[in-house]
Chains A and B, each alone.
Chain A
Amino acid sequence: MTLEPPVDPATHGRLRRLASAVYRGSLLVLPSRFRDRFGTDLLRDFDEETAAAEARRGGLGVMGVLAAAVIDVARRAPVERWHVGRRGRPGPRERSRMTMETWGREIRAAARGLARRPGFSAVIVLTLALGIGANVAIFTVVDGVLLEPLAFPEPERMVSVRHHAPGVDLPEIETSLGMVNVYNRWARSLEAMAAIDDDSRNLTGGDRPDRVQVLSVSEPFFRVARTAPAIGRSFTAEDAAPGATPVAILTHGAWTGRFGREPGIIGRTVRVDGVPTEVIGVMPPEYAFPDAETALLLPLYVPEDATFGTFGRVGIARLAEGVTFDEARREVEALQARIPEYDAEMTPEFFEQAGWSVTVETLRDRLVGDARASLWIVLGTAGFVLLIACANVANLFLVRADARQREVAIRAALGAGRGRLAVAFLSESLLLGVLAGAAGVGMAAAGVRALVRWGPPELPRLHEIGMDGSVLLFAGAVSVLAGLAFGGLPVARYLGRSFARVLRDGGRGVTDGRQRHRARNVLVAGQLALAVVLLVGSGLMVRSFQRLRAVHLGVSTGGVTAVTVSWGDTEDVASAADFYLRVVEELRAEPSVASVGATNSLPLRPDGLNGGSFRIESRPRPEDQLPPVSMWSTVSPGFFETLGIPILEGRPMTDGDTRGEPPYVWVNERFARDFLDGAAVGERVQRGEMAETWWEIAGVVGDVRHFGPAEEVRPMMYHPLGPALPPNVSVSAVSVVVAGRGSGGAAVDAVRAVVARLGPEVPVTRARSMEAVRKESMADTSFTVALLGIAATVALLLGAVGVYGVISYVVSQRTREIGVRMALGARSTDVQHMVVRQGLAVTVLGVVVGLAGSFALTRLMAAILFEVSATDPLTFVVVPVALVAVSALACWIPARRAARVDPVRALVAE
């Protein structure tokens, strides 16, 4: 008999699979004989029931059915077990039934006990909920970004292949169409490789003209991704061939958002960059690759004889049946040696000089990229907060366990075994853990909404984040573990003890006071140690952030707004350039505009930035050397001035330069320094091998951190925007940068008005202040700073509360002793010092351990730190000082109380 589900597995929701697994697990409490006979029926009925419930009431319905069905199993289990037992099966079953009953009784008793002490319970639940909530929220993000697979079947078998040529200053060059051919021809470990390329195009048709995200894909893409349009068909090889009717596939989002789910969309013609294009399909709703913004899929042509050069495409492939990732990686690496077979011009010497290498990685690793390190660090941080919360609660429980000593001893005297007593303690802590878990999930739900809203937009796949079954499972596991962690401690302490002595001592525990305090002190010291680690971590991030902010970007962002104007992809560069120049010219005359310029590649957001080799007239290079490489972009006159980029040498760019006769070019300082020993003006450079034009360097401008504050400055060439642009400079969209007079809004309105007048078909999108662009370039760091900052604050608070709690308790226990001391002549300041000293001893212990831990752990953060050492001395000094100060304050409050003890009362009270 098989255990196949009755419904189509494809429609079988993730949550239902999870519920099914939980239910299957719960069946283990039934006797095996019953399971053998009815297990299949039970599971099948359950699956049908959840399917029906999901259709009616969604995820909530599934959870409802799961709850009812599990309760049903639990209720039925004793009957079935008893039945089996009666038939002569021996005792263990009987015993397990007893245990279940015991647990039930103890949990009910614990619930009553907790309800009688609402304050105590609330403090514990809140403390733990904070810890659990932080963990669940962070786990949700990590789950969404790292663990949830891409919405393709077997996403772990999808890989991306990219190449590196650091020897020619091209450390990341993705892959070329030629290389895609190489792999498709010779790589047996890859089922197929597709070339993909994302960029943006103008889409007209639907309810508005707009600039949209487009993914161009070569024909094997749908096979590689194992996906297909929900409506219509996918691309064939013919669709991509030159001269074919232009076709496109809409994503579900674009179909819904722009075409109002128009049923007759297939066969309709839209305009993509002005070219009439037929819609042949609509992707399914779950398709969101490479991100949810993508609106359109276009066919990408890979000629049979595509050249090896022109990199910049992304190559994705699926592993062939039965091939492991490592086998594929080894084969791809070995294939690099066969490139000369494909393109004879590429000699082994070239590869050696270029430092050629290849990286094969899973598509998910590729998409998640650098976010991985910060997310794991943040998850670790949240784990620390939970540990601190548990330590805090364990401390409260120790106090409570002291109070229960007498009850425990009496129960032991009446014959309760140690196991039974352990159940009594653990059921209370488990109950609290589960309550806190529920509260924590609530907090996390709010937190996740905030995260998705405020998280860095660069965090990949942020839109896919949501709470789901695996998150709830995680929360449940964390809650139970937390309950066991803090409940286990008193159990361990009390079960090893002589109950008779407890009874004799009247439950006051006078004799073993020191030992009890020691346990508590260790907990607090541990808490403080964890807090130190978190504070050091967040301190390092704050310092990184400061450094990042202090980086000289090379542009002044204040008061400047960047507006994207897109003419669209075109062969006719001259018309596009002419249009942009007219826009700039007209804007100059606007009263609201102080200064204006345009570029195809906005600093700090380097879309459209390209690069390649060039040669310098005055410095012919020896045959065996590779040519120098530079990045290039195009800018209009006024661009350098608007962004405050200084002209260091030579002359500014004027309107006359845009004609390209004679051809002038501007370079940055790094270029001048690296290639021309600082004397660049008047030198002539030629781009690429086949180029004929010699460009004369007319000026040297200041370096700009084009790729963001944390990235190195690269050599740059700036070509005047105009009809004579060299190839490989895209002008399908430019950023118009305007510095406004008065409010920036008027200047942006002016851009819109001018563009609307000169080219009503041309979309104006994304107006953002350069200040916002700058902040966004640091968003990753500021996000980590904020998260770690919050975690560290919570840790510090909980740590302080822990110290306070312990010292207060000690003071209350020592009231009599303090009374005696004062009666014997101790002054109140002596008493205060004594108490504070005790608290500080614990603190110092915690701080020392914490610093040692930080020293070991912050090394893991090195990857996300910027210009700050993982053992930054300032952080390592400030944190302990601050912590000791806070802890002293926490001790001082109970110390004052101690100093006010009235000796007479203290003695009489006893």
Chain B
Amino acid sequence: MSSSRLKPTWFHLLLALADGPQHGYAIRGLVAERTGGEVKLWPATLYGSIRQMEEEGLIVETDHGEAPGDDPRRRYYRLTPRGRAELAAETDRLQALVEAARSSRALREA
């Protein structure tokens, strides 16, 4: 599983949850912010992905109210250990890709 590449949407979702539990709408905001508005997760895609990732065991619904000021009407999600591992693996994979690209370019330019 960890060898196959993650869908970009999933990667963004996992990344958004890396710093702690969030509800759907906040995830959307974080992703938009992180990508400079490039990636906009519209509701159906967002919750569809959440459903799939839950089924894959990457994220799990938590009890809300872990932080003060959390909205009790919202549902919060957090990473599972497996989700965290997938995120790390994908980050490594992307890192490797970037390095490969850099070095190939460096080689070409040299």
Contacts and interface: CB of A to CB of B under 8 A. Distances in A.
Contacts of A689: none
Contact of A72 (B24, B42, B51, B75): B42
A46 interface: yes
A38 interface: yes
A77 B48 CA distance: 9
A69 B48 contact: no
Contact of A77 (B40, B44, B74): B44
A73 interface: yes
Contacts, number: 55
B26 to A, nearest CB: 10
Interface range for A: 20 to 34
B28 A45 contact: yes
B48 A45 contact: no
A37 B51 contact: yes
Interface in A787-804: none
A contacts with B: majority SS: helix
B89 interface: no
B45 A38 contact: no
B25 A30 contact: no
A681 interface: no
Interface string A32-75: 00100110011011101100000000000000000011011101
B45 A75 contact: yes
Interface in A577-621: none
A761 interface: no
Contacts of B44: 27, 30, 42, 69, 72-73, 75-77, 80
Interface in A67-114: 68-69, 71-73, 75-77, 79-80, 83
B46 interface: yes
A71 B43 CA distance: 11
B25 A69 contact: no
A507 B28 CA distance: 56
Contacts of A44: 25, 73
A25 to B, nearest CB: 14
A589 B104 CA distance: 102
Contacts of A42: 43-44, 47
Contacts of A45: 24-25, 28, 43, 46
A80 B48 contact: yes
Interface in B40-88: 40, 42-48, 50-52, 73-75
Interface string A644-657: 00000000000000
A69 B43 contact: yes
B28 A76 contact: no
A48 B25 contact: yes
A479 B51 CA distance: 37
Contacts of A46: 43
Contacts of B28: 45
A77 B52 CA distance: 14
Contacts of A27: 44
Given A79-B48, A80-B48, A72 B43 contact: yes
Given A46-B43, A48-B25, A69-B43, A76 B75 contact: no
Among A34, A45, A49, A83, find the residue whose CB has the most chain B CB atoms closer than 10 A.
A45
Nearest to A37: B51
B51 A76 contact: no
Contacts of A48: 25
Contacts of B73: 6, 44
B43 A68 contact: no
A364 B74 CA distance: 42
16 contacts: A27-B44, A30-B44, A37-B47, A38-B51, A41-B24, A41-B47, A42-B47, A49-B43, A69-B42, A71-B42, A72-B45, A73-B43, A75-B44, A76-B48, A77-B44, A83-B52
Interface of B: 24-25, 28, 40, 42-48, 50-52, 73-75
Given A38-B50, A45-B24, A72-B42, 12 more contacts: A34-B51, A41-B25, A41-B47, A44-B25, A45-B28, A45-B43, A46-B43, A68-B42, A71-B42, A73-B42, A73-B44, A80-B51
Kindly list the 10 A-B residue pairs having the minimum CB-CB distance in the complex, ordered from nearest: A72-B42, A76-B44, A38-B47, A42-B43, A73-B44, A45-B43, A45-B25, A72-B44, A76-B48, A69-B42
